[in-house]
Amino acid sequence: MSYRSKSEKYRDADLYKALSRGALLNSPDPGIEINMTEDISRGSQSVERSFKSHQLNGLPDQVSSPVRKEVVSRSALGTNTPNNYDEIDVESGKLEEVRVKTVRSSKRVLRIHNQAFLAGLAYCFSSCSMILVNKYVLSSYNFNAGISLMLYQNFVSVIIVVTLSFLGIITTEPLTWRLIKVWLPVNVIFVGMLITSMFSLKYINVAMVTVLKNVTNVMTAVGEMYLFNKHHDNRVWAALFLMIISAISGGITDLSFHAIGYTWQFINCFLTASYSLTLRRVMDTAKQVTKSGDLNEFSMVLLNNTLSLPLGTLLIFVFNEVDYLSRTPLLRLPTFWLVITLSGFLGLAISFTSMWFLRQTGATTYSLVGSLNKIPLSVAGILIFHVPTSLENSASIFFGLLAGVFFARAKMRDRTRS
């Protein structure tokens, strides 16, 4: 029988701490860290106290822990057997595996944050680019066939979605007659929303369009209150009131005011609010008539764009855009076809990036980023198209954009409480 030296005592305590830290790193619950650290310190202190008591009493060290037995056997024998080396190799291997898992976990968290940032950046870029490209086609090219532009963009979207579905990259629901009958009323509103957006964008600058779109939030909030008996917070109503004030003051101070454009924009706000309110009811019915019992976002994109093709073709003849298309020289310019094809890709990119961004973050972050996205869009619209503006109009636009951000934050709190 031999007594433990002072260096062996501290070596045993250090080994106990190391193994305890290994268990701590391997714990799936980060909230355990503080409690386990306290337990480790208590355990190490109790080990030292037991060593001191054994040394004072002159008693041999009676060890029950397998780890401590290993330390005692090494001090007693003074030799390191192959089995002992294997034992410490196994322990160090476990610790090394824990470190690797920790590094991989931190890389995975970093990668998720990067995906959310990239998704938000892609969504902002595609949505801003879509509006700016449409404005460029309608104003800079002076293209007077907004329905035809909408029809071509939707046709490009249908081709891309069908191709991706055929390759197995995405999954879409088959377009049955029952599903078409359920979805057709929503699609009529959807087509009207796109067409009125084209008409208003031709006459109104981008900054004022973004401010006037806030009226959609007011109409949607009122519709939710009467159709779904939803009560909003006082902050929400205050933000809506600020939006109305900014829209009125922006229209009064707009140096390029156009009555026809403003009329189309207010019709667009009404149709956009109607689309969002109607979509909530129709989606539940549409899911019941699908084969899978579900209707994902890709299926809705395909459904909306496919059903818009025959309706858009009919409206081209109603508004007599066929005669204009036969006379305009723009259709013989390759650059014009390149720009409108790009607008079709951007239209579909908005759908994909918005779904990606929603999946990576959530509805609250999505709505807040969408409101903040209007600020650089308005500035870019004024600078790119050389919009004449005044200090009063710029202040009204900025006031309206801040009201949109305030509304998004108020909705976030309202949604959290509910």
Measured distance CA(203)–CA(304) in Å, rounded: 26
- Whether 119 and 353 have beta carbons less than 8 Å apart is answered as yes
- For tokens 């205050």, the residue is 238
Long-range pairs for 9-18: beta carbons < 8 A, 24 or more residues apart: 9/48, 9/51, 11/71, 12/47, 12/51, 12/67, 12/68, 12/71, 13/44, 13/47, 13/48, 15/67, 15/71, 16/43, 16/44, 16/47, 16/67, 16/68, 17/44, 18/95
Give first-to-last CA distance, the chain, whole Å: 71
Which sign does the torsion angle of CA 180, 181, 186, 188 carry?
positive
pLDDT tens track of the chain, all 418 residues? 444 444 444 444 444 433 333 333 333 333 333 333 334 344 444 444 444 444 444 434 444 443 334 433 444 433 444 444 444 444 445 445 545 555 454 444 445 457 788 888 888 899 899 999 999 999 889 999 999 999 999 999 999 999 999 998 888 888 899 999 999 999 999 999 999 999 999 999 999 998 898 888 889 888 888 888 888 888 888 888 888 898 888 888 888 888 999 999 999 999 999 988 888 788 888 888 888 888 887 888 899 999 999 999 999 999 999 999 999 999 999 999 999 999 999 988 888 888 788 777 766 676 778 777 888 888 888 888 888 888 888 888 888 888 888 888 887 777 676 6
Measured distance CA(389)–CA(233) in Å, rounded: 35
Is 0.75 topped by the overall pTM?
Answer: no
Measured distance CA(216)–CA(200) in Å, rounded: 14
With residue 368 as reference, give the H or E element that holds it. Answer: helix 363-372
The three-state secondary structure class of 291 is coil
Integer CA distances (angstroms), 194 to 79, 158, 274, 304, 370, in order: 84, 16, 13, 11, 19
Measured distance CA(312)–CA(155) in Å, rounded: 10
Six-digit token string for 57:
């009493």
